[in-house]
Every structure is written in structure tokens, then in C-alpha cells.
Amino acid sequence: MMPTQLEAVVVYTVVAFCAVYCVWLFMPATMKRWMANALLRRFPRLQAWSTLQAATRDPAGCGSACGNCASAGARPPAQEHQVHWAKKRRSPPG
């Protein structure tokens, strides 16, 4: 059975949106900020989109632009703990 043209267009559109979302998800924060600012300058109607608004904010912290330390409720890193390894005793042959 051959898919109709409308079905093919719908499938291609869904796949394209998924690909764009995947690229956006794994894109570095610096590039996201640059793209979000460019989109907002080009298309002013996108001002209401909260995802773009969040991407345009400059993260606070060390300046690496990873976005992890910009959260308000950031917890301090966990304390280190020692790991003790026990040697496995071998039973005598026999």
C-alpha cells in the first residue's frame, strides 16, 4: 500500500522537527544563546516563547556557559568518601 502525499508530508515534518529538537538539545549553550538572539532579532513575534527567552540569558558563574551553575537552588558538591577494597581470598587448590 502506497502512502498518500499528505501522509508523507506529515511524516517528513515530524522527522524534521525531531531532528531540529535533537540538534537544539545537544548544542552548546554559547551557540544556543547566539541562535536565540538571532531568531528574536529576525522574528519579533517569538518574544513570547519562554525557551528562547531562557536561552538568551547569560549564565552566571565561572563563564564556561554550561548553564549548570546558573540555577538558583544549586547544591554544593557532595563530600568525597574513601573506598576500601578488600582482597579476595583464594582457597587452596585441592
Collapsed DSSP state (helix, strand, coil) of residue 38: helix
At 84, the amino acid letter reads H
**Residue 51's pLDDT band (boundaries 50, 70, 90)?**
confident
**Residue 18's pLDDT band (boundaries 50, 70, 90)?**
very high
> What confidence score (pLDDT) does residue 63 get?
52
Average pLDDT for the chain: 78
- Cell numbers for 71, please give them: 540555577
Q: Which residue has the higher pLDDT, 40 or 19?
A: 19
> What confidence score (pLDDT) does residue 12 get?
96
Reference 20, options 44, 39, 1, 4; nearest CA is: 39
CA dist 65 and 79 (Å) reads 25
φ, ψ of residue 21 to 5 degrees: the values are -65, -40
> What confidence score (pLDDT) does residue 60 get?
55
